[in-house]
Amino acid sequence: MTAPAELAELVHLEIDSGVATVTLDSPHNRNALSAQVRRELLAHMDTAIASDDARVIVLTHTGPVFCAGMDLKEADTGGPGVVDFPELLRRMWISPTPVIARLAGPARAGGVGLVAACDLAVAAEDVSFAFTEVRIGVVPAVISVPLVPRVQPAALYELFLTGEPFDARRAAAIGLITGAVPADRLDAEVRRYADMLRLGAPGALAGTKDLLRGPSARTMPDDLAAMARVSAANFASEEGREGVRAFLEKRPPSWVTD
């Protein structure tokens, strides 16, 4: 019997000159957080965090989209990523090594959660963001845990409830990202932050991160577990099942009226 072919890697890690670059490379599904992507992203993050050669971690992507959120083709009644995605966000949030997100393309739903779990984030000005969960009948539960401490409350109310897309300049204004720059300056700006972070002592950077995270780092496991249960219940609900079906069938869900 012929052994099954190994799956091609969808997330890559390269460590060079003190910078660990973790690259989402699943452009066929807009870098959606499939089970394989989540598994590989968590493994590479752990490797980078554990490496003495990595002083800074940069999370980036191939293709025109940073991350489209959960891969709804893999959705089931338990909800996609209900176990490993919360753990991925937690590891990024408490990482002693600073993490920078580099966005040359849009982020949606869970993809915005990845951005929020990073310490710094730089996006090209034409990048857009959106919390699309309510439009498919579910709740932005798990990603709320890293988002609530950093995004202006009034903006989060508006954007969570409406699902309206917003641009990188607004993302910076409300605290979601660190800065928005012209696309041709994106790499230089990410390098600038990485170079500044490499000037800091690793222990001092880790201690400063712990200070800044404060109580949120200590309560995060319980918060994420609670929100994972909320997420699973919503994906299993009638609205959640209808929303996912409508998304996959490229039609409006049943609750949308003229």
Catalytic positions, written as ranges: 133
Is residue 163 within 8 Å of 253, Cβ to Cβ? Answer: no
Q: How far apart are CA 224 and CA 246, in angstroms?
A: 27
Is residue 57 within 8 Å of 199, Cβ to Cβ? Answer: no
Is residue 239 within 8 Å of 136, Cβ to Cβ? Answer: no
CB-count exposure of residue 199 (10 Å: 0-12, 13-18, 19+): exposed
CB atoms within 10 A of CB 188: 10
- In what helix (H) or strand (E) does residue 191 lie, and over which residues does it extend? helix 186-198
Residues 6+ away with beta carbon under 8 Å from 215: none
Q: How far apart are CA 228 and CA 234, in angstroms?
A: 10
Is residue 29 within 8 Å of 68, Cβ to Cβ? Answer: yes
The backbone torsions φ and ψ at residue 12, rounded to the nearest 5 degrees and listed phi first, read -120, 155
82 CA to centre of own chain: 14
Q: How far apart are CA 139 and CA 233, in angstroms?
A: 10
- The CB-side HSE value for 34 (13 A sphere, CA atoms) comes to 15
Nearest by Cα to 216 from 141, 148, 118 = 148
